[in-house]
Structure 1
Amino acid sequence: MQLRLTLLVFILLSFPISLLAKVLNGFNIDNASVPLHLIQRGGPPKDGIPALNQPEFIKGKDAKFMRAQDIVLGLQVSDVVKAYPIRILNWHEIVNDQFGGTRYVISYCPLCGSGMAFLSQPTGELEALDFGVSGLLYNSDVLMYDRKTESLWSQIHGEAIAGASVGSKLKQVPLTLSRWSNWLARHPDSLVLSTNTGYQRDYQRDPYAGYGKNAAIYFPVANQAPNEYHPKEMVLGFKVEQSTIAFPFSELSQLTGLKHGFELAGSRYFVHWDSDNQSAWITNDKGKTQSSTLLFWFAWYAFYPDTKVYKLKESDSQVDPK
């Protein structure tokens, strides 16, 4: 018996540590800062959904492939304006881009309906990173990975949740969601991401057609959203320090004015509703646009179950905790 025990210990000590590690899609998640059972394979392998690393852009007025009703994510940095069509992002999810020498990562998760942009240089770090699609999900949301350390990054949290960079954060920058016709009218000099991506994809086809109307959630999440709203109702999620608030579109659509004020964490903000484009954004009391996230209700609640929810009353609006 003692001999068997000694032999077992010897075998375990001799076994390569890398083979004992918890690995998914080639990523070591032993030091994950989130529950391991919520990190799931989404189906495709690492880079099975190819990020765009050298994106090509054309002038918006020359983009004959764009339709007036197409939804785009718009990013403006100084005088440079770019649009990223959702029907291209559906196939690639990540665009590594730059504005005036500063690098950004534009990300979109079709399963959560979440479009977000970040500075590619993590807070406090000196070097910008390139990101790819890991093929893994956390809370049904895309997990990006950086090609330098192969750490996994939660899109909605904007934070590394496993790997050498665990705990590092990315700085979110404001994105605008708009219909193409409206975006081009407001930004006639806008560039738009070209379909000349180097990959053979049918950008006229939506691989997730019908998903946004279906109540089913295909991957486990930490917190099930109350059924007061459809799981995939679009909400505008906003976070300040440790306080969060969600603005369901069904509530915003009842606004009689262009904006309504609210307070969060002791500061005054304004939510703006654009009924024509079915979009919303947040400004502070000085009129500066704040970073926020448009996404499905179930996804916001999965990450922020203590969120407040904006509700419109008959004569005015108030924030109700949920």
Structure 2
Amino acid sequence: MKNILSTLILFFAIVCQVNAQTKKGFDLSGATIPIVEIKDGGPPRDGIPSIDAPKFLSVSQAGIAEQDRILGVYHNGIAKAYPINILNFHEIVNDFFEGHPVVVTYCPLCGSGIAFDAEINGERKTFGVSGLLYNSDVLLYDRETESLWSQLKKESVSGEMKGRSLVKIATANTTWGKWKENHPETLILSEETGFGRDYSRNPYPGYAQSAKIYFEVAEMDDSYHPKEMVVGLEINGMHKAYPFSELAKSDEPEIEDVFQDQKLSIRFDEDSQSAEIRDDEGNIIPTVMNFWFAWYAFYPETDVFKF
């Protein structure tokens, strides 16, 4: 009897250990982030469905308001706008720019929109929403290897691709009016996504204004409102945040800064609540607009621009 009891205890211990290293069917053994900090976001894997066959409209066909927010991508000579009200329901668009694969990602909980080159080691990766979160941020997964990828870390945290990095493509989180003014030839993602969603409804009402966050994060800092929008910049592995409340203090159309020995020009547009950073040759540097709490959770060592 004693031997049977010992065997059962050992069996259940092994089962618990296996379950602790598996969530929503993803193998987390050897993950580069603490497994206990990987949270269940609620929906199952692909419960938030990615858009894998996006359709686009011309400017003349678009039916959204000038002040509606979009995530804009200009790549390989093509401009496309992805309305935030669509991204709120899908979070991932697997797309192509002149035949080159690009994945457009958006995490409503972190306010973070990032586009990545989806060709890794010469092979296209298609991404889905895992239903898991790390530091309140979406964990993507690629369908080819089922590896998990952290959006704001820009790298795979588990699976066959663990440790591989994603290459960012410059994006603009701005208004539709501002984007089409700068890119009159732009295309815009159609609401004909193949899914029955009411895109006029915000599934996160009041969230961007509230100081509350839905999921625990590793690090917090109260220097700014948790949902203060910041531009997050990375150069040579070092990070800096440019809070909008600081940028708004300037009366100049461009603000000069130096970070990691690089001269930078920050262009902040208060009307569209958007910003971009250029190097001293005028090239746009890929950055990420996101909430202060999210940027700090991932990069607590970050420098902060103060006017």
Q: Secondary structure at the match of 2:306?
A: strand
Question: How many residues matched?
Answer: 306
After superposition, the Cα gap between the structure-2 partners of 1:201 and 1:239, relative to the gap in structure 1 and judged at 3 Å, is same
The equivalent position to 1:177 in structure 2, one of 151, 173, 177, is 173
C-alpha contact 1:243 1:264 (8 A) present in aligned 2: no
**Matching residue of 1:61:** 60
Describe how 1:115-134 pairs up with structure 2 within 5 A. Answer: 115-122=113-120, 125-134=121-130
**Matching residue of 2:295:** 300
Describe how 1:98-109 pairs up with structure 2 within 5 A. Answer: 98-109=96-107
Q: Does 1:254 align with 2:249?
A: yes
What is the distance in 2 between the residues matched to 1:170 and 1:153?
Answer: 9
Give TM-score, length-normalised by structure 2: 0.94
The structural deviation recorded for 1:147 is 0.1
The structural deviation recorded for 1:247 is 0.5
The equivalent position to 1:168 in structure 2, one of 150, 164, 169, is 164
Describe how 1:1-16 pairs up with structure 2 within 5 A. Answer: 4=3, 8=7
Q: Does 1:273 align with 2:272?
A: no
The structural deviation recorded for 1:186 is 2.3
Q: Does 1:38 align with 2:37?
A: yes
The structural deviation recorded for 1:307 is 0.4
Q: Secondary structure at the match of 1:143?
A: strand
The equivalent position to 1:86 in structure 2, one of 84, 90, 94, is 84
What is the distance in 2 between the residues matched to 1:79 and 1:231?
Answer: 36
The equivalent position to 1:114 in structure 2, one of 67, 90, 112, is 112
C-alpha contact 1:116 1:155 (8 A) present in aligned 2: yes
What is the distance in 2 between the residues matched to 1:136 and 1:16?
Answer: 21
Gapped regions of structure 1 (runs ≥ 5) = 313-322
What is the distance in 1 between the residues matched to 2:16 and 2:146?
Answer: 18
What is the distance in 2 between the residues matched to 1:211 and 1:252?
Answer: 23
After superposition, the Cα gap between the structure-2 partners of 1:211 and 1:21, relative to the gap in structure 1 and judged at 3 Å, is closer
Give TM-score, length-normalised by structure 1: 0.90
What is the distance in 2 between the residues matched to 1:243 and 1:91?
Answer: 32
What is the distance in 1 between the residues matched to 2:136 and 2:81?
Answer: 25
Task: Write the deviation string for residues 101-154 of structure 1: whole angstroms up to 9, x where unpaired.
Answer: 1100000000000000000023xx121200000000000000000001101000
Identity, in percent, stands at 44
**Matching residue of 1:28:** 27
**Matching residue of 1:319:** none
Structure 1 letter corresponding to 2:50: A
**Matching residue of 1:156:** 152
**Matching residue of 1:221:** 217
The structural deviation recorded for 1:185 is 2.3
What is the distance in 1 between the residues matched to 2:292 and 2:18?
Answer: 39
What is the distance in 1 between the residues matched to 2:173 and 2:60?
Answer: 19
Q: Secondary structure at the match of 2:119?
A: coil
What is the distance in 1 between the residues matched to 2:75 and 2:287?
Answer: 16
Q: Does 1:210 align with 2:196?
A: no
Gapped regions of structure 2 (runs ≥ 5) = none
What is the distance in 2 between the residues matched to 1:233 and 1:18?
Answer: 39
